[in-house]
Amino acid sequence: MAASSESEVIAQQVSALTGRVAAAEARLGEIDKVIARLEGAALTTARALQEISHHWNAVYDAMRRAEEPDVGQLGGERDSSRPDKPKR
């Protein structure tokens, strides 16, 4: 009789654990879905940041071009900020 009641107690404990394991598996399934959505959002964010970076690079390139003197204008002009070198 003692063996029977001992097995019943073990069966009840296993039954209780089975429910907890099923609940944990369900939560893990939900977590997997959230992780997949987060990975998708991370990829979208990375693509958007890359696009923004390309736009800023284009802006900086345009600013540099605007600051550079035009090669055609340099033909007869001298840089007046530099003093003349004495001729020997």
Q: What is the pLDDT along the chain (88 residues), one digit of tens a residue?
A: 566 799 999 999 999 999 999 999 999 999 999 999 999 999 999 999 999 999 999 999 999 999 887 766 665 555 555 566 666 5
Assigned domain for 82 exists:
no
Assigned domain for 44 exists:
yes
Query: Residue 87 is encoded by which pair of tokens?
Result: 């001729």
Assigned domain for 84 exists:
no
How many Cα atoms sit within 13 Å of 37 on the Cβ side?
6
Whole-structure pTM value: 0.54
Assigned domain for 42 exists:
yes
> How far is Cα 12 from Cα 19, in angstroms, rounded to an integer?
11
**Residue 62 pLDDT:** 95
The domain in which residue 42 lies consists of 2-66
Assigned domain for 13 exists:
yes
Residue 62 per-residue DSSP state: H
Assigned domain for 35 exists:
yes
**Residue 83 pLDDT:** 60
What is the C-alpha radius of gyration for the chain, rounded to an integer number of angstroms? 37
Counting the structural domains of the chain, the total is: 1
